[in-house]
Amino acid sequence: MSRNSYQSGAGTVAFATTQWSVVLTAQSESPSAGEALEKLCRTYWWPLYGFVRRQGYGPEEAQDLTQSFFAMLLERRDLDAVRREKGRLRSYLLTSLKNHLGKARRRTMALKRGEGKPLVPLDELMARERADLEPAHTLTADGIYERRWALTLLEQALTRLEEEYREAGNAVLFEKLKPLLTDESDRASQATIAHELNMSENAVKQALHRLRQRFRVVLRDEIADTVAVPTDIEDELRHFIAILKT
């Protein structure tokens, strides 16, 4: 994915081509378009599907509705609105889905089950739902969508970090330090890791500091992919943190 830059008070900051741009690319037939569409679906399928399920639809009908929603966006080129609209992809897709569900209730679904290739493997989707431990009884449909959006971005950031550490030959170190990413004071665990990996406690402390720094950069990249303009990144990042704290 190409990277651009913009100026801020802290200097030049890397800014990814946003997911909005990726969505537009997905309307063509190029290999990059296929990759863009796959990322879009993998990022937003689970949150959007969760919203549909919370509306009272069963698993199969919710699958059909979610799949037909993505198909509608591409086939009708509704995503051209992304060129004109300033905002966050998270909000844009949820508003579009609500409109889609409203229309679906007033007509017979044109996309019958089994027609077309699912944009995300349905067995993967159902396995994820079975493992879902969300307190669904306390969350609204919008709340489920928001929380799944945040958890998906978190998962993507951690996956990127894991790949980076694995490629550098530090997979074991990553697995040991991962649980401490958000714990600033667990000295006992750091001492245990130092003993297990035959490292000094200071070396573990420095390694954890570097991991946390890199995590913030990677997470910011993932957030940047979901907004239209760089100035929205900080607001969306604060929103992301607030969701995970609730």
Q: What are phi and psi of 4, to 5 degrees?
A: -115, 180
* pLDDT-based confidence at residue 245 (cuts at 50, 70, 90): confident
pTM here is: 0.70
- The position carrying tokens 């067995």 is 123
* pLDDT of 73: 73
Answer yes or no: are the C-beta atoms of 67 and 118 closer than 8 Å. Answer: yes
Domain ranges for the chain, please list them: 19-132, 136-246
CA torsion 16-19-25-30 (nearest 10°) is 80
95 CA to centre of own chain? 17
**173-192 residue pLDDT tens:** 999 999 888 765 567 788 99
Rounded to whole angstroms, the Cα distance separating 92 from 94 reads 6
Cβ-Cβ contacts under 8 Å for 114 (sequence gap 6 or more): none
